Each structure stands twice: as C-alpha cells, then as structure tokens.
C-alpha cells in the first residue's frame, strides 16, 4: 500500500524528530532510515527533506552542526533540542489520539 502525499507530509516532522531523538544524524542518513523503517515504501528526496529540516531549525526544534564523515569530508548534522523533545512528545500524543479515534471506528 502506498501512503498518500498528505499522510507522508503530515508524518514527516514526527518521524524526523523521532529519529533525532535516538541519535544525531545527517540528511542522507535520515532519508535512508525512513526508507528502511517503511520497508521501502517511503522514498524521500533531498528536495523534500531539507526544507523540513530548515523549518524545524527555525522553530528551534533541532540544531545543526558541522561534523566529519569517515571519509574526512565535512557533513552537516542535526540534533534534537530541548524544545524539539517537548514538541516530539506533543506530536506523539496527537498521533496516539488520532490512532485511537480511528481504531474506535473500525468494524
């Protein structure tokens, strides 16, 4: 089953926040992790991810910093901020409420 664009868009922020709550990461690794978590059903592109990361950084939910890859090249990493941890908790609660409402309607 392919997820709708609307559902993918709505789930992108809580997914990214959840990934960054586990460990700091960089763009390509986030894309790969989403792909793996979805068993290959979600295929994010750079053009979709980076505007979301920039928006989240402006809101203070994440912070970026420069680090080095194993190859020695510089790479921009992202980490969850304290404000992002609070936002993640709120979004998880909202998703749980929505999931519970849908479950009540299933026959």
What CATH number did the domain enclosing 93 receive?
Answer: 1.10.10.10
In a domain, 86, yes or no: yes
Stretch 80-93: mean pLDDT: 97
In a domain, 1, yes or no: no
3-state helix, strand, coil in the chain (%, to 5): 60, 15, 25
Task: Indicate if the pLDDT at residue 107 is higher than 70.
Answer: no
- Tokens 């080095």 sit at which residue? 68
Total number of domains constituting the chain: 1
Q: What percent of the chain has pLDDT over 90?
A: 71
pLDDT attached to residue 89: 97
Domain range for 36: 14-105
Phi and psi angles of residue 63, each rounded to the nearest 5 degrees, phi first: -130, 145
In a domain, 31, yes or no: yes
More confidently predicted of 77 and 3: 77
In a domain, 77, yes or no: yes
Neighbour-count burial for 11-38, b at 16+ CB within 10 Å, e otherwise: bbbbbbbbbbeeebbebeebbebbeeee
Instruction: Say whether 82 sits in a helix, a strand or coil.
Output: helix
């Amino acid at each position: 089953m392919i997820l709708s664009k609307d559902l993918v868009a709505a789930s992108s922020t809580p997914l990214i926040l959840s990934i960054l709550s586990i460990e700091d990461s960089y763009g390509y690794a986030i894309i790969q992790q989403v792909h793996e978590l979805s068993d290959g059903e979600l295929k994010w592109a750079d053009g979709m991810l980076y505007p979301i990361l920039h928006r989240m950084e402006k809101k203070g939910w994440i912070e970026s910093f420069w680090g080095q890859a194993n190859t020695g090249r510089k790479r921009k990493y992202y980490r969850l901020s304290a404000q992002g941890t609070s936002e993640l908790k709120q979004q998880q609660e909202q998703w749980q409420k929505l999931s519970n409402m849908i479950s009540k309607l299933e026959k």
